[in-house]
Amino acid sequence: MTQSLITYSQLPLDLDRDRLPHHVAVIMDGNGRWAKHQGLPRIKGHQKGVDVLKDLLRCCQDWGISALTAYAFSTENWKRPQFEVDFLMGLFERVLQRELAEMIAENVRIRFVGNLDTLPQSLQDEISRSMDSTKDNSTIEFTVATNYGGQQEIVQATRSIAQKVKEGILEPEDIDEKLFENHLYTAGLVPPDLLIRTSGEMRLSNFLLWQMAYAEIYVTKTLWPDFDRREFHKALSSYQQRERRFGKISK
Ligand code: FPP
């Protein structure tokens, strides 16, 4: 056990440092099922999920991965029982309060993407504070998708471009992939190279639809609260066995 902890504090030797993904995105599924298997209430799964996410962020820093994006709350998640929604909103706020000083000290830039205007005001304040105070940090870009939906993101980008065309700021011919990307919530962030989804479902669930165009997808049956460094190692090994052709033919 001690041996593996020592090993996992550094990039595992069988991984090629030059072929790591720059940006990893995660769909953290399975918190509720994990809690149920342990005979615990669902919220215990979310609490454990936060610890796992925190260690993954640290692991990315340890192993030299420069961007991590996590799907924390989708636009569809409002349909969950009110108690669970309230718990999650409170949890996000408490995590930000608790972790901000450490993120500043560790040079982490945190960014939230999604329709943030409809989140509880106290959470919005905490989000603004954390984004403002880490905006110049550069060791790792940590993005949290909250009240996020990929289709909604594309619609809002289209609206804002259409408005600029209407006002004469842009011509329709100016619209290309780069310009469109710059109107997404994730403007300025490189697209994910690897998407990891836990708990076995083979779906994108409206996550980063535009940005995921060329991402490699890794699905594991492991539930999110059990997704540790060993599991991340497996995901990266699988990624490094893929041939990323971006539409080209093999050499
Ligand atoms: C999916 O499991 C998980 C969520 C909807 C919440 C994930 C949120 C966190 C781990 C907190 C992140 C916090 C911050 C501030 C970054 P599920 O409930 O859908 O599990 P199930 O499919 O087993 O029911």
pLDDT of residue 118: 96
pLDDT of residue 3: 46
CA of 48 to the centre of ligand 1 (A): 10
pLDDT of residue 246: 79
pLDDT of residue 82: 97
Distance between the two ends of the chain, CA-based, in angstroms? Answer: 42
Residue 174 annotated among the catalytic residues of the structure: no
Tell me the angle at which helices 229-241 and 42-63 cross, rounded to the nearest 10 degrees: 60
Of the listed 55, 77, 115, 137, which one is catalytic? 77
Q: What is the mean pLDDT of each run of 10 residues along the chain (251 residues)?
A: 65 96 98 98 97 98 97 97 97 97 97 98 98 97 98 98 98 97 97 98 97 97 98 97 81 65
pLDDT of residue 5: 56
pLDDT of residue 6: 57
Q: Is the minimum distance from the CB of 236 to ligand 1 under 6 angstroms?
A: no
CA of 31 to the centre of ligand 1 (A): 6
Q: Is the minimum distance from the CB of 7 to ligand 1 under 6 angstroms?
A: no
- Nearest ligand 1 atom to the CA of 46 is 10
Please give the Cα distance from 56 to 235 (Å, whole number): 12
Q: Burial code of 94-108, b = ≥16 C-beta within 10 A, e = fewer?
A: ebbeebbeebeeeeb
Q: Domains (ranges, CATH) in the chain?
A: 21-150+193-239 (3.40.1180.10)
pTM assigned to the model:
0.95
Q: Is the minimum distance from the CB of 53 to ligand 1 under 6 angstroms?
A: yes
Residues 6+ apart with CB under 8 A from 55: 228, 229
CA of 3 to the centre of ligand 1 (A): 30
SS3 at position 81: coil
Residue 77 annotated among the catalytic residues of the structure: yes
